[in-house]
Amino acid sequence: MNILYYTWEEFCAEDGIASFRALGHVVEVISFEWRNIGYDEDFEQEVLRRLRREEKGKRYYDAVFSFNFFPVISAACQKASVPYISLIFDSPFLPLTSVQIDNPCNHVYTFDRKQAEQMRREGHLTVHYSPLGVAGERIRQLTEPLYTQPYEHEVCFLGTLYNDEFDFYDQISYLPPYLKGWFDGVLAAQENVFGFDLIGDETVISRGQISEMHEYVKFQRTAHFTMDENVVLRDMLRKKVTKTERPKLLGMLAKHFSVDLYTRPKQVVPPGVREFGYAEYMKQMPRIFNRSKINLNITLRTIISGIPLRVTDVLAAGGFLITTYQEEIAAQFKDGVELVIAYTPEDLVEKCAYYLTHDEEREAIAAAGRAKVLEEFDYATIFTRMIKESA
């Protein structure tokens, strides 16, 4: 196949391009600095110009691919009758609500199975499920020499703490005390429940309460997105839980163990946690995962059931992982064999203590997890399936 690959300088672009080429596909890369994620006419015209290319009287490109879904690319592909394949790794991801999501040219994959199932129930039949992938061979070559080197971290977490301008819940200027009190109570309860979405349960937070909250939150409307206040506001609450939960869990662990954090700038780091700044994805991150005795996954709460990329990245690098419970993680991996699942905050502390003192057991689990991901979650497997389904 001839694939037009759109890159927006995403961290996994090099892996995506190399993986398609390793499968024997011809890949040509396009980049464009668009101005508006909803619609950019110049961007659409540039994509259309590429897609109109012909060779020997036939259309040259067989498909367009991008990590994450871009409505403007979909609009161009629809006009040119070219399949558009996209794999979404962000959560939440607003362009899923775009008016272009139902274009027949689309083959949109989200890593959250429940999200995909819900969207298909709502009639969005262009949306499908796929787990996220890894560049197995690159990671294997990078990490094999590391096993003879000493560990560099005891307990380690890579990820943002979300204490920044994107915490929209704390920016709401006023909520009636009875409503804020209810929301705050649910948020506190959600922190103690891994893997079950209290915020999305309408017996816990009703649509009426969400509608009332909407009176105090202003959205910038656009003709390009069909924004569902029920989804957007619940995601706002879910993100608030993550903002509170991650520092709390790391601080709790730091009372017992050496805890290290790699995160983006301007994050408020909890006491006792050592902060190491941002970790580069291609080379630095696999080394950190491989040379940490325990890697943590604290799943972003907007991910309802899916396996976060952090999980497959850690395991592919040969790292030992303890993760908060998540439905798809429990379904895809054997707890205590390929990774370890924590079901409560207290369980997380207890399992960290146990595996820090059981080296052989910990290393055997890491090896099994690595083998599983390199066999079943390689980009070669995932991309091959996507191309077959889009044909």
Q: What pLDDT, on a 0 to 100 scale, did the predictor assign at position 391? A: 81
Read off the pLDDT of residues 272-290 as tens digits, 9 standing for 90 and up: 999 999 999 999 999 999 9
Question: Domain tally for the chain?
Answer: 2
Same domain, 81 and 162: no
Domain membership of residue 384 (yes or no) is no
**Domain end call among 77, 107, 130:** 130
Q: What pLDDT, on a 0 to 100 scale, did the predictor assign at position 221? A: 61
Same domain, 329 and 242: yes
Q: What pLDDT, on a 0 to 100 scale, did the predictor assign at position 229? A: 79
E strand or H helix that includes residue 24: none
Same domain, 46 and 143: no
Work out the number of other CB atoms within 10 angstroms of the CB of residue 276. 15
pTM value?
0.94
Whole domain around residue 181: which residue ranges?
136-376
Residue 193 and residue 198: Cα distance in Å, rounded? 8
- 323 touches 297 (CB < 8 A): yes
Domain membership of residue 382 (yes or no) is no
Domain membership of residue 390 (yes or no) is no
Same domain, 220 and 279: yes
Q: What pLDDT, on a 0 to 100 scale, did the predictor assign at position 17? A: 98
Same domain, 341 and 199: yes
Same domain, 111 and 202: no
Same domain, 231 and 281: yes
Q: What pLDDT, on a 0 to 100 scale, did the predictor assign at position 266? A: 86
**Domain end call among 67, 99, 130:** 130
- Tell me the DSSP string of 255-274: TTS-EEEE--TT--PPTTEE
* CATH number for 150: 3.40.50.2000
Instruction: State the chain's mean pLDDT as an integer.
Output: 94
Same domain, 282 and 256: yes
* CATH number for 10: 3.40.50.2300
Same domain, 106 and 165: no
**Domain end call among 99, 114, 130:** 130
First-to-last C-alpha distance (Å) of the chain: 10
Same domain, 327 and 212: yes
Counting as low any pLDDT under 50, the low residues of the chain are none
